[in-house]
Structure 1
Amino acid sequence: MIQSVVVAGAGQTAAVAARTLRRRGFDGRVTLVGAEHHAPYQRPPLSKEYLAGEQDRDELCLLTPGWCAANDVELRLGAEVAAVRPAERSLELADGSALRGDAVLVATGGRPRRLPGVEGDRVRYLRTIADADLLRAALRPGARVVVIGAGFIGCEVASAAIGLGARVTIVERAARPLGHVLGDPMGDVMAAFLRTNGVDLRTGEKVERYAETPSGAVVTTSGGATLQADVVVVGAGMVPNIEPVLGSGIETAAGIPVDEYCRTSAAGVYAAGDVACQWRPRLGRHVRAEHFDNAGAQGMAAAKNMLGGRSAHTAPPWFWSDQFGRDLQHAGFADGTDRLVVRGRVEDFDFIAFYLADGVLRAAFTVDRGADLAVARQLIARDAVLDPDLLRDEDADLADLFDALD
Structure 2
Amino acid sequence: MRSIVACVMIFCSVALLAQEQEPLKFSTDVNTVGTPTIVIVIDFSSAVRIDNAQFGTSLNFDIYSQKEKIFVSSYIVKSFIVNRTLQLTIQGATKAEIEKFVSLSGSAYLSIENGLNVPFTDGTSLSFSAADVERQSKGKIGLGTETRDMYFKAFGGEYAYANNSFGWGMTPKSESDIDKLELNAEFSFQQMYGFRKGKGGEQKPLVFYSKGRVSTNSKDSLNFLYIYPLNFDISGASEAQMMARLGVEGNQTFSSGRMAFNFSYEKLINNLVDFTYGNNRLRLKPVINLGGKIYKEFDNMRIGPDSENELSGQVYANLYYNIPVMNNYSIILESNAYYDFSEKINPDQKIRLNYSIALGIDLPKTPFKTLFKYKDGQVDVNNLADSNLTIGLLADLESLVGSSVNR
State TM-score, norm by structure 1: 0.21
* Greater helix fraction, Structure 1 or Structure 2: 1
Which has the higher relative contact order, 1 or 2, with Cα contacts under 8 A spaced 6 or more apart?
1
When normalised by structure 2's length, the TM-score is: 0.21
- Structure whose alpha-carbon radius of gyration is higher: 2
